[in-house]
Amino acid sequence: MTEPPRPPGDNGPGGNQPEPPTTPFTSPGSYSSPGEAPYAPPPAAPQYGAPPTSGGGYPPPGAYPPPGGYPPGGYYGGPAPAGFANGEERTWALVAHFGGAAGAFVSGGVAGWIAPLVAFLAKGNTSPTVRAHSLTALNFQVLWSIIGVVGYVLLCIVVGIVGVLAAWALGTIFGVIAGIKATNGEYYKYPMSPSWIK
């Protein structure tokens, strides 16, 4: 059975219980007169557009995102704050960097940009830290992916030209040698020739 609500000041069957304090605790000697607490205005909420200055560079919970979402330039348009606000930001930053390295390693340097792009698209608009990490990784990996593709094209062109020249020269030279041997009635075994057709 529940007890009906009591009027203010009635402390009930427990006797005289102190009322909870209505003002925050202030250290002794800081009051303007005995028994009087000085007026202190509540702390101002962080303003949109200005980076927070305390607590490792992150706003208090609930201060962001601003109404209408984040602007295209990031959360407050400035550089990303140092550190990570939470484990999710750290995870996405690691996805951008280690995923880019793994993609570059596995693909031979041409697909390292995929993981940073995924991190950027997934969390770049909601976290300035993930945006900064993913953009720097993306820019680096895109540059080296382009260099890798150009290198593969040049390698194919150079190796292709060398292969064509080698096939042309060796086919001609050894064909002539075999023909000369055949005119003399000799059998000629081509060097490095497989026995595919029997």
pLDDT 10s digits, 43-55: 665 555 555 555 5
59's CB contacts (< 8 A; 6+ apart) are 46, 52
The answer to whether position 158 is within a domain reads: yes
Count of domains observed in the chain? 1
27/143 Cα distance (integer angstroms): 59
For the entire predicted model, the pTM comes to 0.48
38/25 Cα distance (integer angstroms): 11
**Would you say how long the chain is, in residues?**
198
The answer to whether position 3 is within a domain reads: no
- Cβ atoms within 10 Å, residue 77: 14
pLDDT 10s digits, 135-175: 889 889 888 889 888 888 888 888 888 888 888 888 888 88
Domain range for 127? 87-183
The answer to whether position 157 is within a domain reads: yes
Map residue 28 onto helix, strand or coil. Answer: coil
